[in-house]
Amino acid sequence: MSLALRFIAILFPVLGLVALAVIVVPRLSAPAPDPVAEEAEALVEPELPTPEEATLDRQLSEIGSRFAGQVGIAVRPVEGDRTMQYRGLELFPQQSVSKLWVSLTALRQVDAGKLSLDEARVVTLEDLTLFHQPIRDEVLASGSVTTEYRDLMQRALTRSDNTANDIILRRVGGPDAVQATLNRLGLSSIRFGTDERTKQSATAGLQWRPSYSLGRAFYDARDQVPDADRRAAYEGYLADPIDGAAPVAIAAALTRLAKGELLSKDSTALLLDTLAETRSGPNRLKGGLPPDWRIAHKTGTGQALVHEQTGYNDIGILTAPDGRRYAVVVMIARTEERVPDRMAMMHEVVGAVAEYHDATAQ
């Protein structure tokens, strides 16, 4: 649908500083209340965007509006002060993107001397969760695995291991501790949510049972949920995602992470280096990178119902050959598009960022 577009700017607090986000909204319909706007200090008329910013913003809107699904996109140059976006103020389910905030909380505790990544941890059957948890095979083979939190963080971020992530989550104080960290850092409009067991069970219309962590027990139990109940749980999650986040808010958080504003120098380097080793989603944002570009990223993938997928995401920091960096966020709340088409849309976003980069090269 063709929409007349206009630019507004939103000022939101970032540790006592103010960051500008370029917002594109429909002219012909009143926008729904959004969390970023509600928390903004003021609405002001911005300086006019540069031609390159306007072009990128238009491209993102075209990409997003063509996609058959609910998608939010945000792009923010790390060294810039504007966020170009499409539906970037809405809350989108993060799924495993939220693992980033668990590791951020853990590293904040490392910086404060409250946690050592060399601390040992024995992983047992009681720790197992559901869905993607590669460590499960090791536990089942020997009864337990002795490792340390550094390894668990590596597994949680690079392989999106749910069990590894939930162990770290418990060690840092649980969901409330992670949300408190986000709030303390001024990372508004990002909900952490809860642990994987609780979130995934609720989305399927179930209550967690330890037996669900083994074999296909969870899938079998989910298949027994009446269709109406499962649909209600699924739609309830999408309508008000417990782990919802605004793409512009994640882009702002990534920008601050890249600048070293969230962690110590060593912890920042560790987190970014780990994200650069991510194995999941090699054909999402990463698959669209031009030659010699690099990415540090985190993917997320939610459950499917019938032919629809929820929470198909990739967020990251793209680095061009000349060192300029961009926070890029693509979050799909729901879609029936084939996986290759979702990836192709993400590649288009990366291509638009690369065009912007070339157009603004000094």
pLDDT tens per residue across span 274-308: 999 999 999 999 999 999 999 999 999 999 999 99
Give Cα separations from 228 to 125, 239, 241, 308, 326 (angstroms): 33, 16, 19, 16, 42
Q: Which CATH superfamily hosts domain 98-237?
A: DD-peptidase/beta-lactamase superfamily (3.40.710.10)
**Taking Cα atoms as reference points, which of 117, 198, 214 lies closest to residue 156?**
117
| C-alpha span between 99 and 97 (Å, rounded) | 5
- Mean pLDDT score, 15-22: 36
DSSP 205: T
| C-alpha span between 108 and 17 (Å, rounded) | 20
219 phi and psi angles, rounded to 5 deg:
-60, -40
**Taking Cα atoms as reference points, which of 281, 289, 270 lies closest to residue 331?**
281
Residue 4's identity, in one-letter code, is: A
pLDDT at 46: 58
- Mean pLDDT score, 240-254: 98
The token duo for 239 is: 């309508």
**173, HSE (Cβ side, Cα atoms, 13 Å):** 15
Q: Does the pLDDT at position 160 exceed 80?
A: yes
**Taking Cα atoms as reference points, which of 38, 4, 36, 39 lies closest to residue 21?**
36
Model confidence pLDDT, tens digit, residues 28-85: 333 445 455 444 433 333 578 999 999 999 999 999 999 999 999 999 999 998 999 9
pLDDT at 320: 98
Domain boundaries, the chain: 98-237
Cβ contact 60:86 at 8 Å: yes
| C-alpha span between 208 and 205 (Å, rounded) | 10
